[in-house]
Chains A and B, each alone.
Chain A
Amino acid sequence: METGKQHKWLVALSLLFSATYAQADWTVNMRQGVTEISRQVYDLHMMIFWVCVVIGVVVFGIMLVSMLMHRKSLGVEPATFHDNTTIEVAWTVIPVLILLGMAIPATNTLSAMYDAGDAEIDIEVRGYQWKWQYTYLNDDPAKEVKFMSTLLTPQEEIQNKVAKREHYLLDVDNELVIPINTRVRFLITSQDVIHSWWVPDFAVKKDAVPGYVHEAWTVVEEPGVYRGQCAELCGKDHGYMPVVVRAVERAEYDQWLAEKQQEAAEVFAIVGKDWTMDELMEEGESVYLRNCASCHQANGQGIPPAFPSLVGQGLSVGPIQDHIDIVVHGKAGTAMQAFGAQLNAAEIAAVVTYERNAWGNNTGDMVQPKVINDQLAGQ
């Protein structure tokens, strides 16, 4: 009986651990990564680590010997020495030499990281509260592929209502896709506060600072999906803006890019047509849930006063143009962002229509994408 009880406890305890962490890819050290630079950084890290371990073992070893041997309880008499020029010079000079030994490889690696060669592919990485926007820069604006990359993990998993899947918090709707064995340059900036774009497997971490365009580059050697996170505190959902990069063979990349360029062209076409109310509402709800619900909530009630309610009050039932303007331009000094650069005209039209008709607002107003498109183009 007694052992049975203990057994139950053990099972419960092991379940507690294994249930949560079955999928965990468990590491205790820096990743070697998949680029020449990341391996250099790893080697540098391990070298300094072992130097520190040796210093620690020597210093703590001497302390331990002293603590064991030089105790009053053993009847020892304290020595009277209190200086020794030779040893003091030695323990000043030797650390300097060790530091020099570290500084040389560190300087080499750093110089290699800063080597600003020409890249084949330029991608603008733009941080927003709390998502990333990737733009594949292209001289022909019609071929410019641009999309937002947002956390895919549903609120139910975060709120512990359902089991957490693999890649919890490290999964996005649209991954950044790059080819392997190709030099890719990232031009990193921010639309609002400071973020930091970090992919541990590339050893690339660069702050996204509003008003600056910072440069980083990588040459990935192995295909795979590489996950990182925003590394600079950027507000409420700082913990919820992962970076996911899929590195693929060159041919696959070219095919992917072609499809994306095709989609981009289609969006232009879509914007041109007349939408029905049902189409707008359906698209609008999806846009709303992805972009607006984290602040204004799925039921539109918001979290006053920081995030106002959209139900039966304010701009959602006020003048249409003011409503469009705040969605497009945001509101300075608040968390309300300018969505004009993040959403396409159809998405803006749909979400405005949705907000004016959902949750009992029922204004009956409809906003057509081409109206928004004309306004955006007129800026």
Chain B
Amino acid sequence: MSAVIEQHHDDHDHHGPAKGIMRWVFTTNHKDIGSMYLWFSFAMFLLGGSFALVIRAELFQPGLQIVNPDFFNQMTTMHGLVMVFGAVMPAFVGLANWLVPMMIGAPDMALPRMNNYSFWILPFAFTMLASTLFMEGGAPNFGWTFYAPLSTDYGPPSTTFFIFAVHLMGVSSIMGSINVIVTILNMRAPGMTLMQMPLFVWTWLITAYLLVAVMPVLAGVVTMMLMDIHFGTAFFNAGGGGDPVLFQHVFWFFGHPEVYIMILPAFGVISAIIPTFARKRLFGYPSMVYATASIAFLSFIVWAHHMFTVGMPLAGELYFMYATMLIAVPTGVKVFNWVATMWQGAMTFETPMLFAIAFVILFTIGGLSGLMLAIAPADFQYHDTYFVVAHFHYVLVPGAVFSIMAAVYYWIPKWTGNMYDETLGKVHFWLSFIGINVLFFPQHFIGLAGMPRRIPDYALQFADYNMISTVGAFIFGFSQLLFLFIVVKCVYTGKKATAQVWEGAHGLEWTVPSPAPYHTFSTPPKVDLKEAHG
């Protein structure tokens, strides 16, 4: 079964996975666990997406049509939490599980049993979170940022379950990222130095450090909430000598690195795909690594730009404005490097490349609106309006989510051994691309015109663009069922993929057969130094 013939007498490699459901419950195989993460995140993507469609349906016209304001707030909160913690982050962990060992020539993750635990915590955490929708008093309704005291003194009883769910997600993320760090630092094939690793491995290494650094901060802040709610402390209660603004500082000290946690692995994916389809090496590999590290460092020192209106002194405002503007420099370097990689290549435009190019363009639009938001005096007008909603959805949906889709199309022939349906893939891309822009571009305008975010009903001058935005949401949302169909079809049928799959692909994962055998690189491969990172 395995293409890699083992010398020693561990017979593990000579038979495939166990049969039945227990294969998935007890598996310590990085490929199985990667698949489970990806399927789980897709399920969460559909769940969080259905919450988003409730929101957009309510906002189709002014007035209340479908839900009441409290349930609307539950939807915005659950949409954010499920998408951030359930869809985007596990999808990247799934990609890391599948790809990191294969890219660095390792037989598996360094800590396989812990890998199993970190996945299996998630279904419990999200079942608990989703169950709050059916509790008396409803689900959390204070936004995914759960600002105190709205989430403490004024929160619904289900807040306690939300806190426990966040703790579980944090444990899962920390274990997952420790595993990634240990695997990358210890299990690279002989001869592969750090500066020869594929950029996806680099970005994940840095992301994993960010996770280890900030998830405990998140755990801290929700624990302080728990104490305030149940044990009479007053960390965030001004009436008891506490400070509601402290909550925001602690939350965003987690929250800002968190947004880079959701985008750095995407940079790695795009840095793999563009060189393949441009048939040209990645431009400026070392500067890509340094830019990623710079972005990660800066992410720790800019958190209060989420809080420009919270009443900071002038010096604080200026510092956070300048530091935030600096992020544009390494981010610009990345975009310029991708464009320079495309320049004078010999490009073809298969589905992964289409998603990758759309990523570069639309992520850049999100980055530019981010630069506008960094300007503190202008931010007073943008803050907490739909302009912000448009901004972060541009970096997260056609940013992070498109990169995940690009990754799935790019590596799925390696995972399943079958080519996906290219025509359907392109249809999926164009529907998603058009849907996403119809959905989010008008939100820039309604935000500038003055529509606050997180409101279930709005003044009449915002009506046209809200209607257009909702149409885009339904186009984008339902297109994802096509994605599901394409993936399922590819698992079962399709043209057989070669080991190389893509003409221009470089890297160790393309040296193993398609589908990748259950165990790969039981013997470390020889690393062709020039080829390693494409």
Q: Which residues of A contact B (CB under 8 A)?
A: 17, 20-21, 23-31, 40-41, 44-45, 48-49, 52, 55-56, 59-60, 62-63, 66-67, 70-73, 76-84, 87-88, 91-92, 95-96, 99, 102-103, 106-107, 109-111, 113-114, 129, 157-160, 164, 166-170, 192-194, 196, 198, 200, 203-207, 209-212, 214, 228-240, 305-306, 332-333, 335
Contacts and interface: CB of A to CB of B under 8 A. Distances in A.
B461 A59 contact: no
Given A63-B360, A111-B314, A210-B239, A205 B309 contact: yes
B333 A92 contact: yes
17 contacts: A41-B377, A41-B378, A52-B371, A70-B278, A70-B346, A72-B347, A79-B280, A82-B282, A83-B283, A91-B332, A91-B333, A110-B317, A114-B317, A194-B149, A203-B377, A232-B384, A240-B69
Contacts of B347: 66-67, 70-72
A233 B278 contact: no
B154 A72 contact: no
Contacts of A52: 368-369, 371-372
B44 to A, nearest CB: 23
A158 B64 contact: yes
A146 to B, nearest CB: 21
Contact of B372 (A48, A168, A169, A231): A48
B344 A78 contact: yes
Contacts of B187: none
A26 B339 contact: no
State the 10 A-B residue pairs at the shortest beta-carbon distance, nearest first.
A211-B238, A239-B455, A79-B344, A52-B368, A214-B311, A82-B281, A28-B445, A72-B346, A109-B377, A231-B384
A200 B450 contact: yes
A71 B377 contact: no
Contact of B345 (A29, A79, A107, A335): A79
A201 to B, nearest CB: 9
A138 B159 CA distance: 42
Given A66-B342, A168-B62, A99 B329 contact: yes
B285 interface: yes
Given A52-B368, A92-B333, A72 B279 contact: yes
Interface in B125-148: 136-137, 141-143, 147
A194 B286 CA distance: 45
Given A26-B464, A87-B340, A306-B137, A96 B329 contact: yes
Contacts of B281: 80, 82
Given A113-B380, A158-B64, 7 more contacts: A20-B463, A56-B368, A72-B346, A109-B377, A192-B154, A193-B147, A209-B245
Contacts of B463: 20-21, 24
A66 B343 contact: yes
Contacts of B456: 239
Nearest to A305: B136
Contact of A102 (B149, B318, B325, B369): B325
Contacts of B326: 99
Contact of B457 (A23, A95, A169): A169
Contacts of B372: 45, 48-49, 52
Contacts of A25: 461
B348 A78 contact: no
A235 B73 CA distance: 8
Nearest to B238: A211
Nearest to A72: B346
B29 interface: no
Contacts of A235: 73, 141-142, 150, 154
B224 interface: no
A233 B150 contact: yes
B528 to A, nearest CB: 16
Nearest to A108: B377
B153 A332 contact: yes
A206 B464 CA distance: 28
Interface string B43-70: 0000000000000000001111100011
A166 to B, nearest CB: 8
A91 B377 CA distance: 27
B379 to A, nearest CB: 9
Contact of B458 (A26, A56, A60, A239): A239
Interface residues of B, number: 97
B436 to A, nearest CB: 16
Given A95-B328, A236-B69, A158 B63 contact: yes
A157 B336 CA distance: 51
B63 A159 contact: yes
A236 B369 CA distance: 29
Given A23-B460, A24-B461, A79-B280, A110 B377 contact: yes
B452 A229 contact: yes
A160 B65 CA distance: 8
A119 to B, nearest CB: 17
B375 interface: yes
B381 interface: yes
B496 interface: no
Contact of B365 (A56, A70, A73, A203): A56
Nearest to A169: B459
Interface-centre pick from B150, B339, B364, B456 (highest chain A CB count, 10 A): B150
Contacts of B368: 52, 55-56
B460 A20 contact: yes
Nearest to B72: A239
Contacts of B375: 44-45, 48, 102, 106
Contacts of A238: 69, 73, 452, 454-455
Interface in B95-131: none
Contacts of A84: 340
A169 B456 CA distance: 11
Contacts of A211: 238-239, 242-244
B493 interface: no
Contacts of A192: 149, 154
Contacts of B385: 231
Nearest to A213: B311
Contacts of B461: 21, 24-27
B365 A95 contact: no
B475 interface: no
Nearest to A62: B339
B448 interface: yes
Interface in B378-420: 378, 380-381, 383-385
Contact of A70 (B313, B317, B344, B457): B344
Contacts of B279: 72, 78
A164 B343 contact: no
Contacts of A62: 339, 343
A193 B152 CA distance: 10
B240 to A, nearest CB: 10
A200 B380 CA distance: 9
B448 A203 contact: no
